[in-house]
Each structure stands twice: as C-alpha cells, then as structure tokens.
Amino acid sequence: MGATGNVGSALVELLRARDVRVHAISREARTWPDGVRGVVGDANDPASLAGVAAGMDGAFLMSGYAAEAQLLGDLGSGHAALLSSSSGPLADHGNAMAAYHRDSEEAVKASDAAWTIVRPCSMQSNVTRWKDQLDACEVIRAPFGDVPVAMIDPADVAAVLATALTETGHAGRNYRVSGPEALTPADQVAIVGETLQRRLRFDAIPDDEARATLPTQLGQAYADAQFDIFRDHPQYESEIQPTVEQVLGRPPGRLRDWCERNRTCLL
C-alpha cells in the first residue's frame, strides 16, 4: 500500500535493493523500475485490490483503510507490517485519530498473518505543510509551539519496515520509533530557514485560536484529537526512542539531513 507516499516509496526502493520483487499499489497507472509490478487500485475500495496480496510473502499496510481486511485475508499466513502511530494507545481515551490506528492494529493481530507494528512520531516530511506560508512570507505560524517533537525521517521508518519484512526476529513486535532529537516548531522553522538560506521567524498560534480554526481544517473529532495528543499527552510525540538504532544498527537521521536531501520540496 501507499507505494507513492513518503514511507511507501522509500520502502519500494529498499526492498528492491534487497532483491525483493514488489507489487506496488497506486491509484493510477505509472512506470515502475525493474522488479516492481504496478497494481492499480484504491485502498478505500477493497474490490479493486481483491487477490493482490494472494501468494505474497509479506505486505505493507497503513492504518485506517477499507481494503485492510481484503489484503489481510488474501495474505493469509504471510507477514503483515503495519504503519500505525505513536499515539495509538490514546484510543482508550477516546482519541479519534488513535482509534483508527488501534482498530487496524487489532485487525492485524487477529488475522492469520505474522505481524509487525511500527508506531512512528510525526514525520520530518511534515515540514512541507508550511509550503504555502514559505511561498508567501518569512513568518511561519503553527499551533502547539511549546511542544518538542521527536520527528522521524520517513526513510528510517521504511528501513525498519523493510527489515521486519525481510529478516527474522521481528514477528509479533511493536516498534515505537522516533528521530534523534526533539524539536519545537521554532527549532524546525530555524532548520528549514538555514536550509533555504532564509531568515524565517516562527509565530505560535495560541490555543484559543487553534481551537477555533482546527475544526474547520480537520473536523471537530480530529481537532480534539490533536489537543489530546499535544496538550494532554505530549510524551507520545516528544520522547526519543532507541528503536531505530536497535533495529538498524545505526542512529536515525536528523531533520537537518532530511531538509538538505529534500530541499526542492520546500522551494
């Protein structure tokens, strides 16, 4: 699933580097490299992916998609690697975002597949959400300005997934993963500014303003979920985890490195 996304595209490359044949799902037909078979289908339309996972040794799944049961059923006793979220445990608190991650985790565990669940903090690629502001001015505004986030490189998430799918010893494991440093939004903006050689300034959106505007952007349930995570349980985003180095034998990448590699995404 998600073969053109930040994690999925990196996973395709890593699996090919390990000489693994890949079936890559995308909504539209596209050209894929040697060793990758394209599959046109919609993860929200189970019928479009019927049989896709049949005979596969493993599958990469993302939480919250309708085709999950179809793919798990077709996969049978293969290995399912699920991309979940560090805040998944908050489903017990009624958090709407955490709930769909928990539901997917439970579905994977209840299936016939061997499974590995990966729970990342926010991705470093999330700084691209400021692209419109970067195009417009030198001031970046965002909520929860006092909360440091241990952002993780999507390529590191993909590397953990690739390892889980191709090496032994990872079945039945829950891996909570993070980057190497916890950065406030102001820290993140400073790094983006240095990468672009611009004098950017961060302006924190007050909570009362965020409570008024986030429901329009996300819907009320998901806006409440954001406050639950970043105000009531920030540890799920802030705590630095040793997992990437434990699984991969190397430290996770820094936001600065991601920005340098993906500078064109910010221009």
Segment 11-17 shows an average pLDDT of: 97
pLDDT tens for each residue of 246-263: 999 999 999 999 999 999
Dihedrals phi, psi of 89, to nearest 5 degrees = -60, -20
Contact criterion met (CB below 8 Å) for 47 and 61: no
pLDDT tens for each residue of 42-93: 999 999 999 999 999 999 999 999 999 999 999 999 999 999 999 999 999 8
Residues making up the chain, counted from first to last: 267
How many other C-beta atoms are found inside a 10 Å radius of the C-beta of residue 106? Answer: 11
Looking at residue 23, what is its pLDDT?
A: 97
Domain 6-265 bears CATH identifier 3.40.50.720:
yes
DSSP 123: B
Looking at residue 185, what is its pLDDT?
A: 98
Angle, helix 220-227 to helix 207-218, in steps of 10 degrees? 140
What is d(CA 204, CA 218) in angstroms, rounded to the nearest whole number?
19
Structure tokens at 24: 């890559």
Share of the chain above pLDDT 70, in %: 100
Segment 194-216 shows an average pLDDT of: 98
Residue extents of the structural domains in the chain: 6-265
Looking at residue 154, what is its pLDDT?
A: 98
Contact criterion met (CB below 8 Å) for 148 and 183: yes
Looking at residue 256, what is its pLDDT?
A: 98
Looking at residue 32, what is its pLDDT?
A: 96
Looking at residue 96, what is its pLDDT?
A: 97
